[in-house]
Structure 1
Amino acid sequence: MNPTYKPAPAQRRRGRLQLLLIFAVVIGPMLLASAMYRFGFWVPETRTYDGALVATGQGRDALGINAPVGAEPRWELLVTAPDGCAEDCQQLVYLARQINIGLAREAGRASHAIASAQPLAADYAQRLQREYPQLQRYSLDPNVYGANPDLPDGAQLWIVDPHGNLVLRYDSKANGKAILDDLKYLLKISQIG
């Protein structure tokens, strides 16, 4: 004769409770994360970058800039001046160069450029030629730039990835240290350029 084991009702309840706890520990976090994503609660509002994120997949061509083909792919600090390069634009050009220098040993992974819709003043163009020999110069099509309603007026500083995609945007009042920190972080996590 083979005796069958029948657990006491208290042991059954404890076993069921243990099984429910295991399911709660395994499935509960997944359900909570899905609900947080779907309904947007308890989602942190902080961010690790200072500029305005350009997450639309736009490239330089959305700004009306035709960059030369065949250039070495690098991260780029691009200053756009749709209304000509006035004082705020000149300050951003200076800031872009200082940020590039501030990258220290990573400076070879980045470059700086200016794209202006109007020709630069002769004295400023000569000064750029003399003091900023590595500054790349692009032309900016004001019709393309003006046709994009998402683009702000005035001079802007853009961080562009090695594929030519716009990543972050800063206005003329941006903090150079914050831009440098953003670019260093991008270079650190980047697998390109």
Structure 2
Amino acid sequence: MTASDSARTLRGRLILIALFVLFFGSALGAGLLRFSGWMPAGLKNHGELLDPPVDLRVRPPQLADGQAYAWNPESRTWRILAVVPAAECGAECPEVLERLDKVWRLFGHNADQVEILWLGATPEGADAMPALRALREDAGLRAALPRSVDPAGVPLYVVDPHGFVILRYAPHADPVGLRADVAKLLKLR
């Protein structure tokens, strides 16, 4: 075997080893990232994912006028549910309503695919918000929602088109995160 043959053999082996390390090394790195719990920032949600989701179809809410609220999944309408305290809400309710109105308006042409459900007494100015659906007080609905009674304020929930509550936002959560999460969900068709 000549020196050029052994050099070619060595070069071929090094290329083979490099390909092996490149393939299996990247697979090993991906596995380590996956099992360590790391996720890309674009895939993380800002709200708390409810596992298992709460099924509101079991106990459908009623609108404030007494009519049953229809889920109508064919319309692909997502809902943001605000659960205000059963007692007086105070100054926080108009602020929450204003933030939700701003979030709803930021959806632009997709705003018709989002409704705001309001469980509890509606504050002044609620009539001016076209997407707001006031719900009749329902202790069973409050009990079905995880941590709906929060001393820190008004929690928000995201409800899918079929009536499943999938995300919870703590009181005073950043509305930008809520908007970003719902915007991602609106893209799912």
Q: Percent identity?
A: 18
- 56-65 or 77-86: bigger deviation: 56-65
Note closer, same or farther for the CA distance 1:31–1:176 as it changes in structure 2 (3 Å cut). Answer: closer
Q: Distance in 2 between matches of 1:58 and 1:141?
A: 19
Q: Give the TM-score normalised by the residue count of structure 2.
A: 0.68
If you compute each CA radius of gyration, which structure gives the higher value, 1 or 2? 1
Is there any run of 5+ residues in structure 1 with no aligned partner, and where?
none
Structure 1 vs Structure 2 CA RMSD = 3.7
What is residue 66 of structure 2 aligned with on the other side?
A: none
- Say if 2:133 is the partner of 1:136: yes
Aligned pairs (5 A) from 1:1-193: 8-38=5-35, 40=36, 43=38, 46=41, 51-59=46-54, 61=56, 66=61, 68-69=69-70, 71=72, 72-84=75-87, 86-87=89-90, 88-116=92-120, 120=121, 124=122, 128=126, 130-132=127-129, 134-139=131-136, 141-143=138-140, 145-146=142-143, 150-154=146-150, 155-187=154-186, 189-191=187-189
Letter matched to residue 56 of structure 1: D
Q: Distance in 1 between matches of 2:58 and 2:79?
A: 14
Is there any run of 5+ residues in structure 2 with no aligned partner, and where?
63-68
Q: Is the 8 A contact 1:75 1:111 kept in 2?
A: yes
Q: Distance in 2 between matches of 1:46 and 1:151?
A: 26
Equivalent residue of 2:51, what SS? Answer: coil
TM-superposed CA distance for 1:144, in Å, is 5.8
TM-superposed CA distance for 1:60, in Å, is 5.0
Q: Distance in 1 between matches of 2:55 and 2:147?
A: 12
